[in-house]
Structure 1
Amino acid sequence: MREGQEARSADVLIAGATFAGLGLAGRLGKQAVVVERTGFVGPEFTSSYCRAVIHGTAKGSAEAQALRSEAQERNLIASDGAIHSPAFVPVLHRLIQREGINVRFLTRVIQVDAQPMGGFAVTLMDGSGLSVLHVKCIVDTTGLCDTSPLTASMSPVKRRLNAMIHHPGAPEEVPPRCSGYELHRGRFPSEWMVGCELAPTDDWAAARDRLLTHWRQRPEALKPWQLATIADAFEVMVKAGTCDIASGWVWHPSAAYRDPIAAYEAGIQLALEVLTP
């Protein structure tokens, strides 16, 4: 540890304030610390404008049922299961406050070092500088495996950048289906998204350029629709399941789920099946 670094400890480090990460953290309580490199909650859904559906008949834990019920009460779910994902942000912040989840936003994992006697020393960076967190286990729920990017690079991961579109003259008109332009609807009739798949080497600037070029080349039938806003996060398409990185260190990407409640439930089950004695 370098001079000036702060050392602390926790049982479990959870990478990503994702739906799965928050489900896991809520079940573990004070044993867990969540680190989120952005300032967003549930970014794999709330910030990516990805295609998502909540299945109302799915069974699960009491916590997952309560989250689904709150979303229904807030009118965030359509009859066909389509959702208004950005509006889950206040729901998740309420959940964090209610459950007392320890989340460190705008915090990046810089390095993970296995310790001779077990566990890990995780170097973190935030606005205050560097600190070291000593943990027994690491669960990475991010789409691109922030704690071990090499692991994600060896997996079949694809990314998309999505945007919301609108028709100024007819907000509720359904956009036509056109080859090469995959569209999906959110909770409301005027809530339509379009996106394009990215190259593996695309950074944020290149991704935006690719999306804007793709949209400028749209067919005549889509010309009345305009880009309203571009997503703040990539949609990540990755295989579901748990990947072992090392003993006590796993990757379970929340972005693998198309249903955010299912992702939340997966985090709860991960606590029950993997991390508890």
Structure 2
Amino acid sequence: MIPASFDYVRPTTVGEAVQALSDGGDDAKLLAGGQSFIPVLRLRMGDPSLVVDLGGIAELRGVREEGDAIVVGAMTTHHDVTRDELLGRHVALIAEATRTVADPQVRHRGTLGGALAHADPAGDLAAPTLALDAELVVVGPSGERRVPASEFFEDYFTTAIGPTEILTAIRFPKYTGWGARYEKFNRVAQAWSIVAVAATVKVDGGKITDARIGLTNMAGTPVRARGVESALVGQSMSEETVRAAAQAAAEGTSPTSDADAGSDYREHLARVLTGRAVLAAAG
């Protein structure tokens, strides 16, 4: 299908984009990578009066180091995330998860910020962002604010971004020396996750000294498996220890039942994939 008609602007600065979004009113929408938004337009599931294209804003792209944080511009493509040296060294989990997103064509066009703002519970990047205790930088008419990942994802396809605000960057604490693994279970290759687990762990002297675990598609928003984290920390690294701790993976979740899987099967997947992810992350 052909989209309904709309006005289009391509600003070159964040300030211009915020102004255009404010002037456009409630029906103005942002275009980032477009991998989810363009199909919505083509199917006429959305009918914006104005599309503000962020592709012309150079300051929204790239990865940089700021003290104890790695900052990723919201318009940085998935392709660049998977190949960035700073992320590979200090925030391996986000690079690991991004490698599983769709296919090379999508990874060359899709963006980290666009995926997080879309907030699909089956998307692969929200759970690692939550597990890594990232901060999301949002800019609007009132200026800049930082939103912890734990407060950013509010519901299905709903985030803390206001109607006249733009996600400009994601700030990740450094996890230098931590192991990382993203275990994804999907129906066919390149499909959305039925369930996935993002795990990053720190092992010292044969013991797990810290752990961060996020779950994909186990609720309307990404979920931290805090029961598993608590059960792992301080324990000797062994398959038996990890498998036992992974039994708590589904605690506090609310998975749906659909054509792909029932809620009980998703809970089973969460436990199995958590065990695999932690064991792989710990080497």
Q: TM-score, normalised by structure 1?
A: 0.24
Quick check: which one's helix share is greater? 2
Q: TM-score, normalised by structure 2?
A: 0.23
The one of the two structures with greater contact order (alpha-carbon pairs below 8 A, sep at least 6) is 1
